[in-house]
Copies of this chain bind each other. A is one copy, B any other.
């Protein structure tokens, strides 16, 4: 049974359908929307519609864009011979924040996951193979997460790309900067040992 007006319950339901938002939080957000200054709620609704209308994937790297191609692919100063392959658009944002990488990207929009029925045709692998087959790319850096699915995806993609004579590398995984041995988990320590380098 509902104790709020129907249109208000509807708004609560919509918020509650978002990931990580429980019933109580949804109620709080709905109350907040009701109390917003004039125009702000309209702007919020409009932002949802505009983002849905304008944002699509870049035909080259599959990253999100609201232009014809994304700003990174459009940037003539980026090195088109190195492609960094990531699982999600947010990973591009993380790497860009480091200001270290000057190549271009390829966003897979997922990782291979037999448990969740995600196979090679469900993520943007074909588009990557096509890009590599065109010949300009010399190195592909696999930057999927260092977990079972990310590793498996990196391995799978690497085998697909090797026949094109391209160099395929994987990001280094080890102890994060600022952390210490005591609080580093076993799996990370194993990676750190495997990846040790001469000083």
Residues of A within 8 A of B (CB): 1, 3-8, 10-11, 13-14, 18-21, 25, 27-34, 36, 41-52, 54-55, 64-67, 70, 88-90, 92-93, 96-97
Contact = CB atoms under 8 A, between A and B. Distances in A.
A51 B10 contact: yes
Given A33-B48, A33-B51, A52-B33, A66 B8 contact: yes
Contacts of A70: 5
B19 A29 contact: yes
Contacts of A4: 64, 89, 93
Q: Interface SS of chain A: helix, strand, loop or mixed?
A: helix
Given A4-B93, A28-B19, A11 B66 contact: no
Identical subunits present = 2
Contacts of A42: 49, 52
18 contacts: A3-B96, A3-B97, A4-B89, A5-B66, A7-B51, A8-B55, A10-B47, A10-B51, A11-B50, A13-B47, A14-B43, A18-B29, A18-B33, A33-B48, A34-B52, A41-B48, A41-B52, A48-B48
Nearest to A93: B3
A11 B29 CA distance: 15
Contacts of A13: 47
Given A4-B89, A41-B49, A20 B25 contact: yes
Given A7-B55, A8-B66, A14-B44, 14 more contacts: A4-B89, A5-B65, A5-B70, A7-B54, A8-B64, A11-B51, A21-B29, A33-B52, A41-B49, A42-B49, A42-B52, A45-B46, A45-B48, A48-B48
A171 B43 CA distance: 41
B14 A32 contact: no
B5 A55 contact: yes
> Among A4, A21, A49, which residue has the most Cβ atoms of chain B within 10 A?
A4
A5 B49 contact: no
